[in-house]
Structure 1
Amino acid sequence: MAEPIVVEDPDDPRLHDYTGLTDVELRRRREPAEGLFIAEGEKVIRRAREAGYAMRSMLLSAKWVDVMRDVIDRSDAPVYVVEPALAEKVTGYHVHRGALASMRRTPLPTASEVLRTARRVVVMESVNDHTNIGAIFRSAAALGMDAVLLSPDCADPLYRRSVKVSMGAVFSVPYARVETWPRGLETVREAGFRLLALTPGEDARILDEVGAHRMERVALMLGAEGSGLSARALAAADERVRIPMAHGVDSLNVGAAAAVAFYAVTTGRPR
């Protein structure tokens, strides 16, 4: 159990993990290199701990010490207590949730490992918006998808914004990187999955018509907002599928489309 340490200097080196949190380019390089990620808010911190992530440290405003006391008591990580103004100076933004934790990353499993016991998988290509990553993970967890595969250029699921938007769901769904793209999709097919590429193209079949919910193993492919799946990814798919639209709307954003498609492939699936 660590006793909280009051810190009054924004340049204190013990706060290094929390500096410049609004600098996206810096943090997206620095965090994986240093083996950390930032969990923001009580619920997300608790979910990270429940998922088995070790804590490097916590940064709290004074009123959050009692709220987080049980978490503090179960960890040997240092807890730094600061005034809200100092937290803002260190992080670069107003920490209105009052609690941040620096967590240790763990090695990612391989694609083959996450596919071994999965039956419903999300495959994302070039989804580099952290909000979309978080929203898709949250829907994947809520609607019963078993795993997520990411192309090499997808955004980091453990980036602070991704974690926050997902409400900690990034800790609930196993995920891995497909290191060679799109050639690595053969690993998915060889594991017995049918690759369904979600696209608004008129040449695609309506998702319900292909009976994806009755398939033994399904991998649903999603592309980036706007550009969608690349020609190479579409060519690698077994089939192209779409969500039917009405009232002149031609497409949904990728987060909304993902949720609709997840429901379609998980409802009534084989047990």
Structure 2
Amino acid sequence: MIVEVTDLDAVELSAYARLTDVALRSRHEPAKGLYIAESSLVIERAVAAGHLPISFLMAPKWLESMRPVIAAACGGHDDGGDVPVYLAKEPVLQELTGFRMHRGALAAMRRPSLPQVSEVLTGARRVAVFEDVVDHTNLGAAFRACAGLGVDAVLITPRCADPLYRRSIRVSMGTVFQVPWTRIEPWPGDGPQEGVEALRSRGFTVAALALADGAVSLVQMEADPPDRLALVLGTEGDGLRRETIAACDLTVQIPMAGGVDSLNVAAAAAVALWATRLRS
């Protein structure tokens, strides 16, 4: 149903209010079981992944172009059917959300339950593991690299940022919906079937991407990559924890030049995943 926004304090609009407040969003989204998808492309990819909308929010000028996406999400109803499609003029949207909307629309989506690690790893041959990556932009960019370079699954550690945070989704261009992912806990793990061992027991070679003594060159791994590979990448600045590196099967290092010792985690992921991609 199409609803014109006249009352910015309406409780049904609370999901969209003050989206620039990181502390509010990080508390609200997991607790309320929703996330915010921004732009027609991202919403379309969320819908294609089977995620269900709670409501849409946009300026009137975007309604016609959004109707096919709305219909796909709402059982063929291009007006949303029972799902509210809120329309508001751009100054009102900016007052409500706290930023200028340049990408057409927002949608409040139901947050899906996370699958089990075993479910995500079934049939996988290339896995990326992100340890404590706390920057939403970096995580979104890393997911985009994973989707584009043929990664079968992504695992994130308990302290990692939320891939379904609005900025992560936006930077990933909605590819967070394309690659199966879940959180792995405990990490790196102390016993059988925990953490690194959960990967190793399924036949993965677990490789830490880190600056460390005894690390092999990525060039060497590229020449003869394992059939099943899990690449582990660490947080911005500090990189992987020592206990994680010790738990992995080997450590891999990207050859660098120009006095630069390392790359941004998303860039490092792209380089390493390209070098070790499946050739057939």
Q: What is aligned with 1:112?
A: 118
Please identify runs of 4+ aligned residues in structure 1 that moved more than 4 A: none
Q: Contact between 1:122 and 1:145, CA under 8 Å: does it hold in 2?
A: yes
Match runs of 1:167-246 below 5 Å: 167-183=173-189, 184-211=195-222, 214-246=225-257
* d(CA) in 1 for partners of 2:70, 2:148: 29
* d(CA) in 1 for partners of 2:131, 2:218: 19
Q: Does 1:72 pair with 2:70? A: yes
Letter in 2 for 1:119: R
Greater alpha carbon shift after TM alignment, 80-89 vs 157-166: 80-89
Once the two structures are TM-superposed, the CA of residue 210 in structure 1 deviates from its matched residue by 2.9
Q: What is aligned with 2:77?
A: none
Instruction: Give the gaps of 5 or more residues in structure 2.
Output: 75-80, 190-194
Once the two structures are TM-superposed, the CA of residue 38 in structure 1 deviates from its matched residue by 0.4
Q: What is aligned with 2:18?
A: 20
* d(CA) in 2 for partners of 1:72, 1:133: 28
- Equivalent residue of 1:133, what SS? helix
Greater alpha carbon shift after TM alignment, 166-175 vs 108-117: 108-117
* d(CA) in 1 for partners of 2:101, 2:136: 19
Once the two structures are TM-superposed, the CA of residue 8 in structure 1 deviates from its matched residue by 1.6
1:135-192 alpha-carbon deviations (Å, 9 max, x no partner):
0000000000110001000000000000000000000000011121110221111111
* d(CA) in 1 for partners of 2:178, 2:60: 30
Once the two structures are TM-superposed, the CA of residue 217 in structure 1 deviates from its matched residue by 0.5
Greater alpha carbon shift after TM alignment, 72-81 vs 96-105: 72-81
Letter in 1 for 2:160: C
- Equivalent residue of 2:208, what SS? strand
* d(CA) in 2 for partners of 1:267, 1:176: 22
Q: 1:8 to 1:257 in 2, by over 3 A?
A: same
Q: What is aligned with 1:8?
A: 6
1:21-44 alpha-carbon deviations (Å, 9 max, x no partner):
111111112101111000001111
Q: 1:69 to 1:213 in 2, by over 3 A?
A: farther
Q: Does 1:253 pair with 2:264? A: yes
RMSD (Å), alpha carbons: 1.3
> 127, 144, 154: which one pairs with 1:148?
154
Structure 1 length-normalised TM: 0.95
Q: What is aligned with 2:38?
A: 40
Greater alpha carbon shift after TM alignment, 117-126 vs 95-104: 95-104
Once the two structures are TM-superposed, the CA of residue 202 in structure 1 deviates from its matched residue by 4.8
* d(CA) in 1 for partners of 2:276, 2:155: 16
* d(CA) in 2 for partners of 1:213, 1:30: 46
Q: What is aligned with 1:139?
A: 145
* d(CA) in 2 for partners of 1:28, 1:236: 31
Q: What is aligned with 2:48?
A: 50
Greater alpha carbon shift after TM alignment, 13-22 vs 115-124: 13-22
Q: 1:9 to 1:210 in 2, by over 3 A?
A: same
1:223-267 alpha-carbon deviations (Å, 9 max, x no partner):
011100001111111000010011221111111111000001115
Identity over aligned residues, as a percent? 52
Structure 2 length-normalised TM: 0.92
> 128, 133, 142: which one pairs with 1:127?
133
Letter in 2 for 1:254: V
Q: Contact between 1:212 and 1:218, CA under 8 Å: does it hold in 2?
A: no
Greater alpha carbon shift after TM alignment, 22-31 vs 128-137: 22-31
Letter in 1 for 2:113: P
